[in-house]
Structure 1
């Protein structure tokens, strides 16, 4: 059986060999392909935490747990040692004030100063806001996650079991418009829950490995809340790219042999989707190659 991680490495190779070189929003430049997919069978407990480089899976799960709170300020993330969202508010602060503050100093102020965090740690109506508090034209808020779980329990063959974050009137107020934007769910006749996620834009080296982990962690929680087993995780991407300054890292990762994927379990059944913590997730058998460092394009 072909190792499932090779799907990801094949995408890297395809971009390096055949990708269209483009000028992008960040100014760094990319090579990209349009339209990509991978799929992973979760039914035996194995999860797509990539092994050809170390993926800090707890960071990805913590980010997903933060999304589920509906939060839009990075202060809770910083206090939980998650720094993957700092670049955007830091850049906004530096541009607005002209202060050459370091990331470390900025994060310290965010963590310790509530007033500073309220002003400079806000990301706008990003993922969690749309998932849990989508504001309708009538002024009512809609909890898409709660609605999804209710439908999974009451009408599991529905073709309307999805949520998304592309709220057109609010995109301009977001620090970054949603990349992983549509999640759709499917229940088989033997009660296995599959998830298909569509991502409009994907930084393949840095973004995709985190997206896989976060999405699967969410699938685990939703399946447990709905009393279902795990099926497949299916990922689709639109503009799938490697930044020009990530080529050497990608080549290094491609050169490595994938190892056995780890397994994930939930230590308990939380009372609701809102009550999971990072301590509820257990990953075993993860023995990856060394981490690969690369800069985030902002």
Structure 2
């Protein structure tokens, strides 16, 4: 019987616990770190790589990906969709600047209620979506990297230049958080550009390069949402989602996540759920969370752990 693919993730967690390099990091929390990890997930049979050794809130992860696709950078639209995962950074900036010890709940309520307050305090700077969809060139022209990739997948599927990235050196200092998942590169196998209508034109794989990764909280989210992106792009170009390949640079376990990691290792993975898209929107911009039909997800219970800011 084939080894469950989630063991790739658990092997990394175990390695960090037993052999990780103990470091003081940017957040001051401290980590156990390693350098250079690759995980591979086969999606060709409909599997959706949502980890099962703790519950992953896959709807929240996909909502974040859909937000990236809009090119927006303000947390107000995320909060309107009940996604709170980006609030920590603008909240910390607000507290530091104003000296007001406001709670997260009250801060988010003000962002939602007051559009002008949101404009001033809810923006994250030119983070992921801005770079993916509205990269600003030196001539002032904006570049939609993702649209260019989709066009190339349709016109020249064996190209070696089908990628987009977020590491815009000129704008890093304006971002609330430097991009962690940086490079998204696509690869088509079994290319059949002249396939009949309704027949797949190839198998689409995606490799994501991530410079920095919180293995406890970040990685389960990232893998899930990147798999969702692969499914969306494959549908848009009439291909079958094939393999998601995740490559991490500095992969780390925060010291206040050690107990969570030990719990994960005590649990056996369960079968991955299946993913189907209920409809095909006219473009990559048309997807909604209701389009994702995820069945058979039966994870172990969730594990709460703090986010390092």
Displacement of 1:14 in angstroms is: 0.3
Q: CA deviation at 1:47?
A: 1.3
RMSD: 0.5
Shift of residue 113, structure 1, vs aligned partner: 0.6
* 1:103-252 matched pairs, under 5 angstroms: 103-190=104-191, 191-252=202-263
Say whether 1:278 aligns with 2:289.
yes
Unaligned runs of 5+ in 1: none
* TM-aligned CA deviation for residue 138 of structure 1: 1.2
How far is 1:189 from its partner?
A: 1.4
**CA offsets per residue over residues 26-85 of structure 1, 9 Å max, x none?**
000000000001000000001110000000000000000000000000000001000000
Inter-partner Cα distance in structure 2 for 1:230 and 1:124: 32
Question: 2:52 matched to which residue of 1?
Answer: 51
Matches within 5 A, 1:65-76: 65-76=66-77
* Deviation for aligned residue 1:160: 0.3
1:51 and 1:276 map into 2 onto residues whose CA distance is 25
- Cα deviation, 1:242-290, whole Å, max 9, x if unaligned, reads 0000001000011101001000110000011111100000100000000
Compute the TM-score of the two structures, normalised by the length of structure 1.
0.99
3-state DSSP class of the match of 1:156? coil
**What are the ranges of 5 or more consecutive residues in structure 2 without an aligned counterpart?**
192-201
For residues 33 and 292 of structure 1, what CA distance do their matches in structure 2 show?
23
Q: Which stretches of structure 1, 4 residues or more, deviate above 3 A after TM superposition?
A: none
Query: What SS does the corresponding residue of 1:217 show, helix, strand or coil?
Result: helix
TM (norm. structure 2) is: 0.96
Equivalent-residue separation in structure 2 for 1:146 and 1:193 (angstroms) = 16
